[in-house]
Structure 1
Amino acid sequence: MRQAEYPTRISVLYALPAMAAAVPTIPAYVLLPSYYGDDLGLGLAITGVVLLLVRMIDMLTDPVVGWLSDKTGNRKIWTGAGAVIAGIGLWYLFSPPSQPSAIYLLIWASVLFLGWTMFQVPYLAWGADLSGDYKKRTTLTALREGAGLIGIVLAGAIPVLINAPDRAAEIQTLATVTLTLGAVFVALLVWKVPDPVAQHKRTSRASFGRGNLWATLRLGARSLRDNGLFMRLLAAWMINGLAAGLPAVCFPLFVRYYLELDQDSENILILLYFAAAIIAIPLWVVMAGRIGKHRVWCFAMVMAIVAFAFVPILDAGDFAAFAVICLVTGAALGADLALPPAIQADVDDWDRYRFGVRRTGLLFALWNMTNKLAMALAAGIAFPILGAFGLTDGGDEKTGALVVLVLIYAVIPIVLKAGAIGMMWRFPLDSTHQVAIRRRLSRRND
């Protein structure tokens, strides 16, 4: 298939919905558990069990949605429908009655995460479909992830700007902002951004998600084992995701118990972290175009390792020193977000050339599942261990717990990132190979 090249405004319109989708991310993952469990009186134990069940179901829907997206060959339908469903779930979940039941939480959290998956998986695959150019894919992914980071910063700024009187007003305002931005940006996405797969399916001989779901998954499992590039990238993505997830879930605990800083300092540090990621993304894009995406990603991981190496020497009250670490690791986060999905899009080209079937949606579904698994493992590993060492218990003697906190926050991520670098440094799919693959796909009208 000779792929059309779209103007920059199409890339921007494609990226904008990521901003709306990112606004409720921190509230949904961080604020809602304590809001339902504590503020609304549902109970922490019941809330935790319900949300764990929802997340398990959520992970199972990824390959189903990915397969259906490939089978129908239409990203617009799934992305638009997912946005509507997620919007309905978001409103009811963020505007609960004064005494919600566990069933209420289960239903509307399930609706939200189902819609989120229906939106996110085809949306990621759509980005890979829009351009086959090695450099433009990086730019497109960077725009999307940069927009998502702006959404996260916006979510942090809104409660401060509106001076919300309580948690309920804060969460409802975030829901309103999300739905307003989402309605505009998703409408522009569906209206203005081309869907190359849907257009190509009408004239192509290529196979789109052939067979039923179970047969596709069984065939896919065998062929994915033969796709060493995908498995290698997915493993590195999983390991680095865990390396990023551990500091993320431990960040508030590290600031509060190790550095002994207040809430205002924590908010400033979070803002610095995400602002550095946004600012650094254009630099990573330029470097990737010159020396290759996988090498630049490795450089960013090395930079994060160097920054984490200074964490053990911090003392209580070291705000300035830790702010520098947040700036460096935040800049590295920009590469983590912008480059691996662009590499995955190139790997999808190889997968389509090698196995003769377009399954971009399914591959990005597995990508999405891996990311969710990494974050779930981060919380599942860190919190029980820190709880066992009594980090949050009363009392003055917490030396052992603080040592463990540093190990989880910085030392283990250093080891994990080193492993991911070892996997990716000699990754064989560079710009030269990708251009050759795209040329062969074009001659094959795939």
Structure 2
Amino acid sequence: MPSSFSFVAALLAATAVSASPRASALTGSITARNAANSSLGAPVAYICGPKTANVTCVNRYGSLLPPSFSRDPDPSVAYTGAKVPGDPSWALVQQADFVLFDKKRGLEVLGPAPKIQRGIIPVLNVIHEAPVFVPELNKLFVTQDGPPGNLSILSLDLNHDPPTVALVETDPPLYQPTGGLYNSKDGMIYYAVQGNNASLPGGLQQHAGIARVDPKTLKAEWLLNNYHGFNLAGPNDLTIDDVGDIWFTDTDYAYVLGVSESPKQLQLATWRFRPSTGQIQVMDTSLAYPNGIAFSRDGKTLTGARNVFAWDVARKGHDGTHPVITGKRVIFQALEGAPDGLKVAANGYLVIGEGLAPGVDITDELGNLIARIQTSHPVENIQWTGDDLKTLWLVGIGGFTRVEFDLAGPDLVNYHGKGGH
């Protein structure tokens, strides 16, 4: 590493749904209406892109709407919940699988045959988090968050289509992991675990912290569960830098959801933990509710959600590995105002789950909006799978969605290698 760098729960019936063709009557109506109202300028939206999915382009980022528009500011109201009665082309946005704001780069992201499948497997109507892909097993592990709380984890065997699903439990059980990451260097899954209870089944006691799991044996090992005797509020998400430090966000969602018996004892913060020494250090306390966190491919940018912020980092200290973060800046205002998990693509683009709302935003590394994926359920987190890492799973409250397109996930073996931005 260089001496300095910058760092950006009832089962629901579910059926795989392929993209449906646009209604020709709607298209005709929009065309006629816009022709009759040409004085209003270009329509807000128009059909564009491959026919394997419903793809809509938005003119000029939708920066000029008829004066009759309105939108509820509640973060659970999706972008499509805006009302634009003065332009019927808005219906194309509401029906779209993919919405493109930057047409050229958006079409590059989609590729020649994008596909979206909703409701692939039946799931509980609870929060689904921490999707982790283990390539050696070709399995996707996904946690189920409370309330009321779970000790089990969903294991999706991707060698079958649709995948076969099993409930597995680590040994010892982990109560309520909410962020997860596969580390190819040791073949382990690292979990941010938010559950903090002294009265779990079988006499299990647990404080919130960081644990790692062998995906082959499901043996779990705790790495961190306090800061000098203080409880952590509830680690939410985590990432690993190129010197092996684990960075994680800490929030009190667990207490709010009733899966922790302890209110926060420290400020909500972003932390750095060094597994080799056990050192834990607070890095940032400026975000009210830090959430998703990720490094850019070249290790020069650390990005945190709510909204989306970036920091620069310099490596200092006696061994040249001690990080100091500066230059906090907001780079993206989410369309719904409550972003959750985020990931960095192979080319450096950010892919941001919208948390309470049914969508995913795709931006470049500077936060310029390129496209969004629209789902039928809120999206808490995302994960690439497949040999070419071009299959993206979107998981959230009561639903799983699978997307196939040309935006690839990062190299699992050499995340901080060449090719990223």
TM-score range, shorter chain: under 0.3
TM-score, normalised to structure 2, is: 0.23
TM-score, normalised to structure 1, is: 0.22
Looking at both structures, which has the greater relative contact order when contacts are Cα pairs under 8 Å and sequence separation is at least 6?
Answer: 1
